[in-house]
A and B are shown apart, each in its own frame.
Chain A
Amino acid sequence: MTPEVGHYALVLALGLSLIQALVPLYGAQTRDVALMRLGTSTAIMQCVFVAISFGALMTAYVTSDFSVANVFENSHSTMPLIYKFTSVWGNHEGSMLLWVLILAVFGAAVAVFGANLPTALKANVLAVQAWIACSFYLFILLTSNPFQRLARAPIEGRDLNPILQDIGLAIHPPLLYLGYVGFSIAFSFALAALIEGRIDAAWARWVRPWTLTAWMFLTVGISMGSYWAYYELGWGGFWFWDPVENASLMPWLAGTALLHSAVVMEKRNALKVWTILLAILAFSLSLIGTFLVRSGVLTSVHTFATDPSRGVFILCILIFFIGGGLGLFAWRAPLLRQGGIFAPISREGALVFNNLFLTIACLTVFVGTLYPLALESLTGEKISVGAPFFNLTFAPLFIPLMFAMPFGTLLAWKRGDIYGVTQRLMAAFGVGIVAVAAALAVAGVQHVLAAFGIGLGFFVIFGAVIDLTERVALFRRPLGTSLSRAVGLPRSAWGTAAAHAGVGVTLIGIVCASTWGTERIVAVKDGQTVSLSGYDLTFDGMVQRQGPNFRELAGRFTVSENGQVVGALSPSKRTFSARSMSTNEAALLSRGFSQLYLSLGDANADGSLAIRFYYKPLVLLIWIGTLIMAFGGILSLSDRRLRVGAPKPAKVKPTLQPAG
């Protein structure tokens, strides 16, 4: 009964979305306030019905109702409860349901928090939001219904793919989807502005918090996915330039550019058309990401079996929204009044620089990801584009971008003073040069590139610090004045500094882990010791363990440094009987920000055991940096002027409807 309720609720949500897709739009055209306001209630009710639907599927999983095909294929009665929850989205159908749930939650959030948006704008935004929702409800109901029943209910399920039986599944997909889907709001606002043919600085103020929210989730989502792949796949890599990873990186790059261009639009009423275009692109890239992953057109480390017929449906959705969005842009954008043009050496000039490099970096990732597909369909030739391509194209674009970052935040609006800024950044330059020298002294001259990478990281971090000290006039005024200034400093200034410093931290982590990481792949026998980067690893034998739904063969290892035992590592191989599949559970030992990483290979005939043992210096900084970036986002979001829905334009233009 419950699955049928879920199915029916989803159909009702589709019905509501159809109403919401048309009525408020018609209302906005005819200036009928009652029709325009209809979108608010339908958006909230849609959210309620999708939540009921999602809850129904979750109930089926938690109660192990194997009469539902989806549960039968992806669950097992002995699975720990947490994985019964998470396996709801550990499969295609369920993850699409999570996608629409998040979409509906965002739609309802606009309906609730957007109380002071102009009525017509809000009506159009919700209508566009409903078009997206509508197409994805149809996709689920027509091609990927998670509530399909089996004629004869099996006694036991076929278990969730063991690789997904991990806490990472609870964290990574929901966060990533919150990011992907969050950009739909920016997209809807952009299309609404194009439909109205009018846009102003207030529009940017309304869009920014939503973009920032999506960006934060996407940042953490990508980062947690990277950490999950790092410890679960057993290769010790944190980023593979894999098509699916690129699919999440592209919206992030476009979204980061959008965040910055929206600042220019809000403060200087310029870059309007460009900001609209970026809003369309960010969500289009999210859709492309969904398509690439869901259709299985790409071979990737993440690819599992997929059904190509679904790919065609998503491709149609893709063409409709990207083509429609860009078409509307081409048709209506000339109507928007262009803002002024400005001096290259200024805050807005620096933000344009940021946008230029971010979008072009995004373009290179796009080419690298889709070129193999294009080449194969044109010539039949199959190629793979991997890390060497992106190291050659993406990295050279990111270096000038990061170098310019501290300058950008210090430059004044309208006309900046590049010499003054350079002088103020002297301390940061100094720190950077000291870092380069120290790295060269420790690691030797052959690591000159890595040393400069570290220097750049320190320059970015201290550039962000100087931005703050300059704002509070530290050391130039009495300390009391500086403190009171620091208290009065807008939270968004703290947020900017934190996010920028986070980029520097991540860069240092990437450079250190990939340059000075060491590894040993050896076969060890009982009692044998292996040394790596000053650590001694002793193999103490194997143990058998029984988990809830797997058997586990674990190795016991002791780690010592200079004769002192510093910890134990117990990597294992798990065999899941339901799928006769095994997974490799790596063992990690953190030493400060560095990690020792150990994973098991095969047992050999002579009784020895193959192991991979890595030392990853400062590897944790990679993810800590991204968390600092997201924390910066939270700080900015908590800024009074940016709070979701709260900001009101200083002067309400007579052409705008009164809020309500």
Chain B
Amino acid sequence: MTRKQRRLAMIGGALGVLGVAAALVLFALKDSIVFFNSPSDVVEKHLPAGSRIRIGGLVEPGSLEKGDNLQVKFKVTDGAHQVAVRYQGILPDLFREGQGVVTEGRLEPGGSLAADSVLAKHDEKYMPREVVDALKKTGRWQEGEMRTDAHVVGKDVVGKDGAAKDAEVKKP
């Protein structure tokens, strides 16, 4: 092969691999991503049953029911609408009524969610950003809501930018 042919072969090969990768990425983006919805979105958008979604909001106080075989039912609310969630398994340590939660699963006919994963915050002050946005939309979120306990002592320093001092390292 001449120099030029070699160069062309190499560039062609590289583009080929890149093309395959791009096709895979596009295919995967179409099929394996999950959209995030607030409870109001679920109610208003009339999403088809069987679609895979994530919803976030607060666990409605008084809605948690525990059944046999680790069956759990609870409702996720953004203040305007609720979505019933069914889950089998162990809830995260920081799962509480009235606290933020993100859950993922399939929509069932009737608008409830059969969840296969439930994520709760794992820092007493952290609220998933999606939940904050969902609550802001319905006016349930007040700026500074999360700072309650940062002011207890030493507010001279901590008060200015709120609770958010409690950043972490990299890993849980």
* B-binding residues in A (CB < 8 A): 69, 72-74, 89-93, 95, 148-152, 154, 161, 163-164, 168-169, 172-173, 176, 225, 228-229, 232-233, 244, 248, 293-294, 296, 299, 301-310, 341-344, 352, 356-357, 360-361, 363-364, 367-368, 371-372, 381-386, 388-389, 392-393, 396-397, 521-523, 573, 579-584, 601-602, 604-605, 610, 612
Contact = CB atoms under 8 A, between A and B. Distances in A.
A233 B172 contact: yes
A459 to B, nearest CB: 21
Given A69-B154, A91-B167, A307-B167, A232 B161 contact: no
B170 A293 contact: yes
24 contacts: A69-B165, A148-B157, A152-B156, A228-B172, A229-B172, A233-B172, A296-B129, A301-B122, A304-B126, A305-B126, A341-B7, A342-B6, A344-B9, A357-B17, A360-B18, A364-B24, A372-B33, A385-B29, A385-B32, A386-B32, A389-B32, A392-B31, A396-B24, A610-B70
Contacts of A352: 10
Given A93-B167, A305-B167, A364-B24, 17 more contacts: A73-B166, A148-B157, A150-B157, A163-B123, A172-B170, A244-B170, A296-B167, A301-B119, A307-B161, A342-B6, A383-B35, A384-B104, A389-B33, A392-B28, A522-B70, A582-B94, A612-B90
Interface band, chain B: 35 or more
Interface of B: 1, 3, 6-7, 9-10, 13-14, 17-18, 20-21, 24-25, 27-29, 31-36, 54, 66, 69-70, 88-91, 93-94, 102, 104, 119, 122-126, 128-130, 133, 146, 153-154, 156-158, 161, 163-172
B42 to A, nearest CB: 13
Contacts of A152: 153-154, 156
B32 A154 contact: no
B124 A344 contact: no
Given A176-B170, A225-B171, A581-B94, A384 B128 contact: no
A525 to B, nearest CB: 13
A90 B171 CA distance: 9
Contact of A388 (B32, B124, B166): B32
A363 B89 contact: no
Contact of B168 (A161, A309, A381, A388): A161
Contacts of A232: 172
B10 A364 contact: no
Nearest to A349: B10
Nearest to A176: B170
Contact of A341 (B10, B35, B119, B123): B10
A303 B126 contact: yes
Q: Is the interface of B mostly helix, strand, loop or mixed?
A: mixed
Nearest to A168: B171
B161 to A, nearest CB: 6
A388 B146 contact: no
B168 A90 contact: yes
A301 B28 contact: no
A168 B21 CA distance: 35
B164 A69 contact: no
Contacts of B17: 356-357, 360, 397
Nearest to B168: A304
B6 A343 contact: yes
Nearest to B16: A356
Given A363-B21, A384-B33, A151 B10 contact: no
